């Protein structure tokens, strides 16, 4: 797939792709905004995993111990994200929702459900995402979470189908993002960087352990870094990352849908989000 097609009407339906994909740090389009602040939801590189609830949960027993863990076994469901204590929620707009789900989870008793409604044309936008500010991050990082897409529909508009981001990381005005399209799962590493279709897609109705392992420093291949994308135990994409990312220590992690129309209803569950300050897992 060409970059121009991915960044056309619907691939740019990520909205932060619309303005050269720079909107993760302050987009405001059709009432949709990705906030630049972190409230109480940030994570520092030198902190240990948060303690969540008194009863043992997934995060109490996961090994190796991550720098951040959220199994969503608490209320409010956004407690450890930038969304916390924001009214209205910075991640839910245009009819999008963020809610606890006790019927679908990877670890008991619940997960977080993220959804957007049908958007009939490009004048409409919606979001249902979690955002976390990452502070003073080291060169190597792994973001892992369990994800289950429960509903998606990608209508055709002028021969181009819609797209919905599953996860993105902003590096200043540049970004990494993974989108779901009718043709499968796609990975983009930078505004002008590499783009690749994952060798296996996220499948509707199936839980998948999804991981982004980032080497944000020169590798044996050259000055660029490297991104490895894994689904369960399968490496589905390996891409070079921009040299410019190596000097960016503050990032924004966004998990969940944020798009404009035309787009069908989209819903996903997320559980057991882990952040490791290493890329060799």
Cα separation, 71 vs 271, whole angstroms:
6
Tally of CA atoms within 13 A in the half-sphere of 196 that contains its CB: 17
**pLDDT digit string, tens, across residues 111-122:** 999 999 999 988
pLDDT at 279: 86
pLDDT at 281: 73
pLDDT confidence band for 25 (50 / 70 / 90): very low
**pLDDT > 60? residue 158:** no
Answer whether the bond into residue 76 is a cis peptide, omega within 30°. Answer: yes
| Token pair in block for residue 220 | 């044996």
Mean pLDDT of the 134-151 span: 95
User: Could you tell me how far CA 159 lies from the centroid of its own chain?
Assistant: 26
**pLDDT digit string, tens, across residues 222-235:** 899 999 999 999 99
**pLDDT > 80? residue 53:** no
pLDDT confidence band for 141 (50 / 70 / 90): very high
pLDDT confidence band for 32 (50 / 70 / 90): very low
pLDDT confidence band for 51 (50 / 70 / 90): very low
pLDDT at 56: 83
Q: Are 157 and 5 in contact (CB under 8 A)?
A: no
pLDDT at 55: 72
Q: Fill in the DSSP letter of residue 199.
A: S
Q: Are 204 and 192 in contact (CB under 8 A)?
A: no
**pLDDT > 80? residue 43:** no
Cα separation, 175 vs 17, whole angstroms:
9
> Which is higher by pLDDT, 22 or 269?
269
pLDDT at 37: 53
Mean pLDDT of the 183-188 span: 94
What percent of the chain lies above the pLDDT cut of 70? Answer: 79
Q: Are 203 and 194 in contact (CB under 8 A)?
A: no
Q: Are 18 and 191 in contact (CB under 8 A)?
A: no
**pLDDT > 50? residue 91:** yes
pLDDT confidence band for 94 (50 / 70 / 90): very high
- Where is 233: in which H helix or E strand? none
Arithmetic mean of pLDDT over the chain: 83
pLDDT at 192: 81
Q: Are 145 and 54 in contact (CB under 8 A)?
A: no
Q: How many CB atoms lie within 10 A of CB 254?
A: 26
| Domains of the chain, each with CATH number or no CATH | 3-32+56-276 (2.60.120.200)
**pLDDT digit string, tens, across residues 210-223:** 999 999 999 888 89
pLDDT at 199: 97
């Amino acid at each position: 797939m060409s970059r121009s097609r991915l960044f056309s009407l619907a691939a740019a339906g990520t909205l932060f792709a619309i303005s050269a994909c720079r909107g993760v740090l302050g987009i405001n389009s059709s009432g949709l905004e990705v906030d630049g602040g972190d409230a109480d939801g940030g994570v520092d590189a030198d902190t240990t995993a948060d303690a969540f609830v008194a009863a043992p949960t997934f995060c109490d027993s996961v090994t190796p111990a991550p720098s951040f863990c959220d199994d969503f076994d608490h209320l409010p469901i956004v407690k450890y994200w930038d969304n916390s204590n924001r009214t209205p929620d910075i991640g839910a707009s245009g009819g999008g929702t963020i809610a606890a789900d006790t019927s679908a989870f990877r670890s008991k008793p619940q997960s977080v459900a993220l959804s957007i409604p049908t958007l009939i044309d490009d004048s409409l936008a919606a979001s249902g995402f979690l955002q976390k500010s990452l502070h003073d991050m080291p060169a190597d990082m792994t973001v892992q979470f369990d994800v289950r897409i429960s509903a998606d529909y990608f209508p055709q508009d002028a021969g181009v189908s819609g797209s919905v981001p599953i996860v993105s990381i902003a590096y200043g005005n540049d970004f990494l993002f993974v989108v779901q399209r009718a043709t499968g799962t796609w990975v983009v590493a930078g505004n002008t960087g590499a783009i690749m279709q994952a060798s296996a897609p996220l499948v509707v109705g199936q839980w998948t352990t999804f991981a982004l392992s980032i080497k944000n420093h020169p590798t044996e291949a050259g000055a660029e870094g490297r991104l490895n994308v894994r689904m369960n135990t399968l490496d589905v994409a390996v891409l070079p990352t921009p040299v410019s990312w190596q000097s960016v220590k503050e990032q924004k992690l966004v998990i969940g849908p944020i798009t404009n129309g035309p787009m069908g209803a989209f819903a996903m569950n997320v559980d057991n989000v882990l952040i490791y300050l290493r890329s060799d897992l």
